[in-house]
Amino acid sequence: MTSSDMAIHMSPHTSSCASSRSSAVLRAVLLCLAWFAQPVAGNEQGAEVDEDRSAVAASADTTAQNRYWGQPTTDGRYRVSTRFRNFDGQTVALGFDLATAESRRSLSEFGVDDRELDALMRLCRQAMACDQATYDGYTTRYYREHALRLTADPGRASRLSVDVPAVVLRNRSRVRPLTDALRRAAAERGQNGDWMIKTAMTLVQTALPYKKPVAQLEGRSLLGFYPPAFALERGYGDCDTKSALLAAMLLDLGESRVVGLHVPGHYLLGLDRRPEADEAFITHQGRPFVLVEAAGPAMRGLGDVSMRTRGALARNDGLRVDPMF
């Protein structure tokens, strides 16, 4: 299993260094820098339909009983309640409060805002010489700080994609209100860490609806992705958003080694453990990682992945491993 430089799927977005508000002088400077390859967000999923998203019938009997809802409080928090059936048929009810400020912070440190790029250009102009290398340095640092990967392929425009491990590690502590609720539920039932991990999987798969995040919000391009803390507030996500949320939860619950796995048109996770019979897994750095689907709405156990994912694994086709440790 080897890593590739392919970007995970995103909603289309083109970043612009210029705007209609710019002065003539600024436009002249930008024209001098126009050969800078404007990054666009990669979208490898295209018209493909995620197999899990189309498998509603497989989980229709449980989805109707699963709920996830929330409302803001008067003290700057967002109160969430959820009720769902876990992997062994138990009904689990959880309640937790999210700090709205943390949710907004997770959003502000992610994605692209053209107003912030305009500010970078003004900062560049204040330097002794705003040449290409200087401006490239500003923008490269900006993308890295906002959990984005900038990929430049010869003969093609540069592309932006989500740096999922960076987002996960930044948001691990922000999902703790939820993982603490899981810990309390496990203690009440006399259950252990394995129960919490499997229950976290079914919560993300079945209680949070599968829905594509918006491409832009309040002037910020999100590339069709929500950071985990914001996903908990919004209460939905697609395969990469839900995988990032589940990864942050699992790390906070004690899973020390988690990887993300990009396959064409899809994103899932791997946990460092010995696979049982028929469990799909990959090998990374000489260790097996059992695969975990987060997308839902179907409930899938450890190592139970879609046929399309199994086909991509068999072909070693377009795979990228993202270590989150």
| pLDDT top residue among 184 and 318 | 184
pLDDT value at 36 more than 80:
no
DSSP string, 25-41: HHHHHHHHTTTS---EE
- Give this prediction's pTM: 0.82
Phi and psi dihedrals of 200, rounded to 5?
-60, -40
Angle at 41 between CA 40 and CA 43, to 5 degrees: 125
CA distance 238 to 8: 12
pLDDT per residue over 200-238, tens digit each? 999 999 999 999 999 999 999 999 999 999 999 999 999
pLDDT value at 296 more than 60:
yes
Q: Which two structure tokens, joined as six digits, stand for 254?
A: 């004690």
166, containing H or E segment? helix 164-171
**Average predicted confidence (pLDDT) for the chain:** 83
| pLDDT top residue among 88 and 156 | 88
pLDDT value at 23 more than 70:
no
Phi and psi dihedrals of 134, rounded to 5?
-65, -45
Report pLDDT for 323: 97
Q: Which two structure tokens, joined as six digits, stand for 294?
A: 């987060």
